[in-house]
Amino acid sequence: MNNMNQMMKQVKKMQEQMLKAQEELGGKVIEGTSGGGVVTVEVNGHKKVLSITIKPEAVDPDDVEMLQDLVLTAVNDALSKADELANDDMGKFTGGMKIPGLF
C-alpha cells in the first residue's frame, strides 16, 4: 500500500510539472518568416498568433496572391516551430509518446 501512495505522489507531482510546462509555453514567442524576412509572424507556444509584420517591399498591388502566399508560409512556419517547441518541452514528460489532447 505504501508503494501505491508513493506512486500516486509521483503522478501528482508529474501532473503539476506538466501543467506548469504548458503554462510556460503560452509565454514563449516563436517567430516564423517568409520571403527572406519580408513577412514575419509571431505566435506563442499555444499557437496563438500574436503579430504579423509585413515590410513595404512585400506589398505589390498587382500581385496580391504573392503577399497572401508569403503570409500563409510565415504563419505555417511559426506554427510548425510552435509544435516543435511543444513536443520538445512536453516530450520530457511523455517519453516522446504523443498523447492526444495533451498538447
pLDDT in tens, the chain (103 residues): 678 888 888 888 888 888 888 888 889 999 999 999 999 999 999 999 999 999 999 999 999 999 999 999 999 999 999 999 988 887 777 665 555 555 4
Tell me the three state secondary structure of residue 39: strand
In this predicted structure, what is the pLDDT of residue 48? Answer: 94
Q: Which structural domains are found in the chain, ordered by start?
A: 29-91 (3.30.1310.10)
Is the model's pTM score more than 0.85? no
Q: 16-37 b/e with 16+ CB inside 10 Å = b?
A: eebeebbeebeeeebbbbbbee
Report helix, strand or coil for 30.
strand
